[in-house]
Structures are given as C-alpha cells and as structure tokens.
Amino acid sequence: MKAFASGKSCHLAVREARERLQGLEDKFPCASWLPVICQNPTADTLTWRALRGTKQQFTLWRGMKTVLLASLAVTGAIVGTRSLGWMQASELKAFDGLMRMRPQEESDERLLVITVGEPDIQYQDRMGMERTGSLSDLALEQLLEKLEPYQPSVIGVDIYHDFPYKPSLAAKLAKNKHFIAPCEIGQTVTTPLTVASPPGISPKQTGFTDFPRDPDDVMRRQLLLMTSSPSCNTSHSLSFRIALNYLAQKDIFPGDRTSEGYIKINNAVLKRFTSKAGGYHLPASEALGYQILINYRAAKFAQVSLRDILSDAVALQLPDLVKNRIILIGVAKNTQDSHLTPYSKGAWAEKIPGVFVHAHQISQILSAVEDGRPLLWWWSQGTEILWIWSWSIVAGAIAGWFANPFTWDWQLLARSPFYLDCVGCCSFRALGFHSFPAS
C-alpha cells in the first residue's frame, strides 16, 4: 500500500509486494503466490491518484490549512515564550556563536593601548615614583613627555584619579584639549558607588566608564550618553568622548538627529538600543541612557607596556606607534575591571581588561563613520513575528510533503514545525537580526 500510495501503478506495487513476500517462503510456504491480479488489457492502469480523483485536491487543501493552523500555533507559542524572556539566554548565546564565526579582521591602526601591569607597577616603585594607584603622576608626566613629540591625536586614560594631579602635571593637562580623563557615574545596583573625575579637569575632557552588563555578565552593549552625577560631571562616555575628539580634528561632527531620534555622524546612524531589541527582553530600566550594541572587531589592538616606553625599550618604534593615533592607557589585568565578551567561551572563559573594551567601542564608531563598517542592527517586533511565522510555514510544508507527498503525515507535520522553528528562531533570527560583514 505504501508503494501504491506513493504513486506507483497497482501492478508494480503488487510486484514489489510479492518480491518482499518471496523472502518469507521458508516460514510461510507459497506466500509469494498471493496476491494475484487479473487485469483487462483494454483498461487503464490503476493508480492511487486515479482512484482518489478530485479528492486529492481536497486533501492538499486540507493539508495547507493544517500547515497554516500549525504554523500559527507554533508562532504564537514561540512569540509568547520570547515575550516572557525565556529564550533570551539561548538567543544571545547563538548571537555570540555567530560573532565568533566571523573571519579575522585587520587590526585598527588608529589605536594604541599602553598597558599598566604588575611589572610596570614594580618599575615605578624601583624608580622611586610615589603613587596612590597603579599609575603615578610622575609616570604619567614622563609618559606624556615621550608621547607628545610624535603628535598623538587623543590620549585617554582608563585609570581613576579622583584627587588633584600634582601642579606641574595639572598645568600640562589643562592646556591639552586632547587629553581625556575617566570617572564613573555608578549609582546602580551593580555599581552603587561613584568615582569623581580628576579635580581641575574640564567636563569636556572627561568621560564616564560605566558599562551596561547583560544578565550573563557578557559585555554586548555600549553606553554613549547618560545623565551625569555631581561628582562625575559629564554626559558622555569615555569611548564616545575620545571618538568625537578624534573625529573633530578631521572636521567631522554629529549632525542633526534622524526622525527616530538616532545620532548620525556622516552616513553612520547609531541606532539606539531598546530593552526588546533583537533577542533581548530586559526591564526598561536596563536600556536607560543612549546605548548601542558593540560590534567587536575580530582582531587585537597594538599594545605596549608602560615600562617599555619609560625605559626607552621601544624608542625607535615609538614614532610609528604614536603618530596620529588614539592612545589608551589602562590596567592590563584587574579582577574588578575585566569583562566577558562574545568571544569568551567555556566554563573558564577569558576576560579582557576594560581598556580593551573601550578600544573596541572607539574602534566601532570610527570604523562606522570613516570606513562604512556596519553597526549591529535588529528588526522590529512585527518583522520578527513575520520571520518566525514564515519559517513555521516552510518547515511544516517541507515536513508534511517529504513524509508522503500524496497522503501527508499529519502527525509528523504537527511535530516538525516546533523543532524546525526553534532552529529558525534561534539560529536564523540571530543571523538575520544581527547580520553584518566583518569588514
């Protein structure tokens, strides 16, 4: 019957059945003698389709209705589950996986990271440099003296200094409009304390270092603007302030905002993150300020240690390393300022220092404005629902047809959309809503 229903003529289906019965002759003698067909040579060959006639069209129409109803049910279940946030973790993991699958990119040569690690701290102590934190005022002053002759574009520091600089250094920093100092607004559940900006430094030369954290502690979002605090008197993040300072030297400034209220610099539109963007389903309080998604660069940034510069170990390479570049100064390893990214994976995933997160944030803005490198984007809620429903219909139709193109296996059809749509929702959604070339 299976062969007959699949489209073979009656006598071919019977022949196939008798061949199968032949293998049972030892258990059932003469089994292959039956069935026997008596066929009139003047009659048309009997087929399943001929027997069903116009009923086949009815069955196919019933099948399509079943597909539509099943797809609507599955779409409703998926959308309902997503609206409760139950799929957020799996969708963000799928997004991280796609980020790691991107091809390697070239390093952004507009940035140089100067790291301050334990050997650099010990070097300062041996040189008799008095320090309160990881970077002494004398070390910073000497560092600036070695960098400034080679005309760096911007110098940004990711090491807090909430007390006055020594007078000689403070006088130099006040004259340098391309020096950006950090502070922290804080005042959140995860970061209740605030860190003041260095006294005597203009608010236009400061930027907050606050990072929005996802529930799994992975850094996927970037704050550009935020309400300032009395001690951290700036509304711009450190990365955004540095990027704008760099672009201003090339006469590139933010233009009028788009009709949606998005920041636009040249042709780059910085689409504002919302709590329900893409795979996210966060409380509205998590999307405060002006946030965007971070399009991490699949490459490492040029870096050199503080000790190597102060000791003239890289004196010959310094002109090429510094000229016209953004210089970021930060701690190399710090348990309090190390973060997971989409490139971190496994139970013991490696964290990267905060100064490198700032480097990625600066790089993505500059690359979008100057190079046309795409920023991350997502679809509207309505488009997402249509996308999920489309894959439900496709999955159901394919499963029903290949189960049996004439009878359609409705039990298989009822099961298949859910599994295939989960793949479409988690994998294809992440690809479609966050797709971009790594260029």
Predicted confidence (pLDDT) per residue in 354-402, tens digit = 999 999 999 999 999 999 999 998 888 888 888 888 878 777 777 666 6
Provide the percentage of residues in the chain whose pLDDT is more than 90.
Answer: 51
Query: What's the pLDDT at 414?
Result: 47
The Cα–Cα gap between 239 and 222 comes to 9
Per-residue pLDDT reduced to its tens digit, 83-105: 888 888 888 998 898 889 888 89
Count other Cβ atoms within 10 Å, centred on residue 413.
22
- Is residue 213 within 8 A of residue 354, CB to CB? The reply is no
**Token digits for 347?**
């139970």
CA-CA distances (angstroms) from residue 418 to 73, 102, 395, 421? 9, 29, 9, 5
30, 18 Cβ separation under 8 angstroms: no
Name the burial class of residue 93, with classes exposed (0-12), middle (13-18) and buried (19+) by CB atoms within 10 angstroms of its CB: middle
Cβ-Cβ contacts under 8 Å for 40 (sequence gap 6 or more): none
Asked if 260 and 254 touch (Cβ cutoff 8 Å), the reply is no
pLDDT tens figures, 103-126: 889 999 999 999 999 999 999 999
For the stretch 193-210, pLDDT in tens is: 789 999 999 999 999 999
Q: Residue 45: is its pLDDT beyond 80?
A: no
pLDDT band for position 36 (cuts 50, 70, 90): low
Tens-digit pLDDT profile for residues 325-349: 999 999 988 767 899 999 987 656 7
Can you say how many angstroms the Cα of residue 415 is from the centroid of all Cα atoms in its chain?
A: 31
pLDDT higher than threshold 80 for residue 215: yes
Enter the tokens of residue 32: 């292959």
Grade residue 48 by pLDDT with cuts at 50, 70 and 90: low
The distance in angstroms from the start CA to the end CA of the chain is 57
DSSP character at residue 30:
T
Residue corresponding to tokens 């300062």: 124
The average pLDDT across 234-252 equals 97
For residues 13-18, average pLDDT:
73
DSSP three-state, residue 54? coil
**Is the Cβ–Cβ distance between 117 and 305 less than 8 Å?**
yes
Least confident piece of the model among 43-47, 253-257, 392-396: 43-47
Question: Is-contact 219 341, C-beta < 8 A?
Answer: yes
Mean pLDDT value across the chain: 83
Is 181's pLDDT higher than 60?
yes
Label residue 279 by pLDDT band (50, 70, 90). Answer: confident
Around Cβ 18, how many Cβ atoms within 10 Å?
A: 16
CA distance linking residue 200 with residue 163, whole number of Å: 9
Rounded Cα distance, 415 and 189, in Å: 44
**Averaged pLDDT, 220-244:** 95
Decide if pLDDT at 3 tops 70: no
The pLDDT of residue 437:
46
Which has the higher per-residue pLDDT, 271 or 35?
271
Q: Is the pLDDT of residue 60 over 90?
A: no
Looking at per-residue pLDDT, the higher value among 11 and 240 belongs to: 240
What are the residues whose beta carbons fall under 8 Å from the beta carbon of 141, sequence distance 6 or more? Answer: 166, 168, 169, 172
pLDDT band, residue 33 (cuts 50/70/90): low
